[in-house]
Amino acid sequence: MPTLTPSQSDNISFLASYFFDGLKPPPNLTVSQYADKYRILDSKSSPEPGPWRTARAPYTKEIMDELSPRSRAERVVWQKGSQVAGTEVGINWVLSSMDLAPCPMLHAQPTIDLGKRWSKQRFTPAINKCERLYDKVVESKTRDNSNTMLQKDFPGGTIIITGANSAAGLRSMPICNLFADEIDAWPPDVDNEGDPLALALRRITNWTRRKSYLCSTPTIKGMSRIEKEFEASDQRYYYVPCPFCRHEQIITWDKIKFDSDDHDKAPETVRMICEKCHAEIYEHHKTEMLAAGRWKKHNPKSEIPGFHLSALYAPLGWYSWRQAVKEHLEALGDPLKRKVWVNTVLAELWDDAAVTIDHHWLMKRKKTYPAQVPDGSLVLTAGVDTQDDRLEATIFGFGLDYETWIIEHLILPGDPDQDQVWIDLDALLLKEYEHERGFKMRIASMCIDAMGHKTDSVYDYCRPRFARRVFACQGTDGPGRPL
């Protein structure tokens, strides 16, 4: 038997070590354990770069562990405030799945552009910082296009990154894991194919070990996707102990107190009042409280893990109670700001029906313009509705960043099946409006609702005026409908 040289012996030992390493089973870790061991936060996407620590946001542990393969949960739901690590939980799940339980996966943001941004700024840096994944996911090169911004291939699986505004991206292939982020910002209908969330969920139905993670800040009551998903879940809330009497309770806005309505002074006095012993709890107590907190189910009959957490739980150094008070005071009397605050801070639904507008606030927003068309308006358009006995036309002015003015609203009496009302509409197309800068403007484009039983008359009017940018359209109820 020939004698091996020291160099040959070293080479064999090196190859043998890799061979036997390959025979070892993957680590049996939950998502939270995997993140604590292997996840490194990048300075480009995190204010606290370095090793991930679940203990920094203890409420994330149970959510991540429900996403682990050993959990029987098929769907995990999180109705959350902003900046409480909801997306990071999803990234941790995806990274651990790529390594320990590879399979085809889909991540969907509200739009493809947001998907590209997520991939570039958050996901790709997370892969590059993970020692167990860096060599498994090769970046796109001239001759190897298997990995791009919107697709990452790895041994045993792939992840497609898309937007909820692309029906093709939501139904192109079957998947095992779905990470659906900010689902309340998804359009109600995508490419006339229906609800994008329903399309995405259809793609995991054939997998026995399927999982989906649906997270979002909520929006409007009755229209919110995360509301429906959370109501169908076991509805877990995070209970934290009072540092003085140890009574467990949820952190809610009614427990947050401050001494003044002064925007500068009030935040300095903010504290939480224990619902049992009435002790004053300050923000520096939050770290201890979060560490000792636990999730409790409010609807234990459901088999779907669902979590609710407001931004008031954000760890010390993240979003603060002081900031919440400051934004609360700034939003008083302003329904639009209040809506954002309720959704993103309290993680609660905005109820339009329960809102009354302060008429003083409304009058303060009134403006008087020196001309029919205010400065800033760059183009005029018209929308026309058809009724049995009239046409109703609204003329809009549009400026930069879609700033909009209502220039005029007109009622043109007459049966749309007769000629006279359309002659009157022709006159409106030729009407000149005085701009604040002194020049005249006409309507640049007009859309006429062709739905209903006056369809033929609308098409007869629009067809010869196509070159004048007069178009028939279909009016549909609800925001966000496709054009």
How many degrees, rounded to 5, is the angle at CA 229 between CA 223 and CA 233? 145
Q: Residues 272, 257: contact at Cβ < 8 Å?
A: yes
Q: Residues 304, 236: contact at Cβ < 8 Å?
A: no
User: Do 243 and 218 share a structural domain?
Assistant: yes
Domain count, the chain: 2
User: Do 123 and 196 share a structural domain?
Assistant: yes
User: Do 419 and 352 share a structural domain?
Assistant: no
Q: Which of 77-86, 240-249, 309-318, 383-392 has the lowest mean pLDDT?
A: 383-392
User: Do 277 and 175 share a structural domain?
Assistant: yes
**Residue 45: per-residue pLDDT:** 83
Q: For residue 134, is pLDDT > 90?
A: no
pLDDT digits (tens, 9 = 90+) for 340-351: 999 999 999 998
**Residue 410: per-residue pLDDT:** 94
pLDDT tier at 245, thresholds 50, 70, 90: very high
pLDDT digits (tens, 9 = 90+) for 77-124: 999 999 999 999 999 999 999 999 999 999 999 999 999 999 999 999
User: Do 403 and 302 share a structural domain?
Assistant: no
pLDDT digits (tens, 9 = 90+) for 409-447: 999 999 999 999 999 999 999 999 999 999 999 999 999
Specify the higher pLDDT residue, 212 or 473. Answer: 212
User: Do 107 and 214 share a structural domain?
Assistant: yes
**Residue 368: per-residue pLDDT:** 75
**Residue 182: per-residue pLDDT:** 98
CB atoms within 10 A of CB 185: 16
User: Do 404 and 359 share a structural domain?
Assistant: no
Q: Which of 318, 337, 366 delimits the end of a domain?
A: 366
**Residue 27: per-residue pLDDT:** 65
pLDDT digits (tens, 9 = 90+) for 268-305: 899 999 999 999 999 999 999 999 999 999 999 999 99
**Residue 162: per-residue pLDDT:** 95
pLDDT tier at 18, thresholds 50, 70, 90: very low
**Residue 230: per-residue pLDDT:** 98
> CATH number for the domain including 245?
3.40.50.300
Cα–Cα distance measured from residue 188 to residue 319, given in angstroms and rounded to the nearest whole number: 30
Q: For residue 261, is pLDDT > 50?
A: yes
User: Do 159 and 295 share a structural domain?
Assistant: yes
Specify the higher pLDDT residue, 167 or 55. Answer: 55
Q: Residues 445, 469: contact at Cβ < 8 Å?
A: yes
pLDDT tier at 141, thresholds 50, 70, 90: very low
User: Do 420 and 360 share a structural domain?
Assistant: no
**Residue 37: per-residue pLDDT:** 97
Q: For residue 355, is pLDDT > 70?
A: no
Q: Which of 104, 98, 105 is nearest to 127 (CA)?
A: 98
Which helix (H) or strand (E) element contains residue 385?
A: strand 379-387
**Residue 478: per-residue pLDDT:** 58
Average pLDDT over the chain, rounded to an integer: 89
Domain that holds residue 293: 26-366
**Residue 16: per-residue pLDDT:** 52
Task: Specify if 7 maps to a domain.
Answer: no
**Residue 363: per-residue pLDDT:** 74
H helices present in 232-320, as ranges: 286-291
**Residue 24: per-residue pLDDT:** 52
CA torsion sign for 202, 205, 209, 214 is: positive
**Residue 249: per-residue pLDDT:** 98
pLDDT tier at 483, thresholds 50, 70, 90: low
User: Do 309 and 438 share a structural domain?
Assistant: no
State the average pLDDT over residues 175-203. 94
Q: Is the pTM of this model over 0.85?
A: no
User: Do 362 and 403 share a structural domain?
Assistant: no
What percentage of the chain carries pLDDT values higher than 70?
88
Residue found under tokens 């025979």: 23
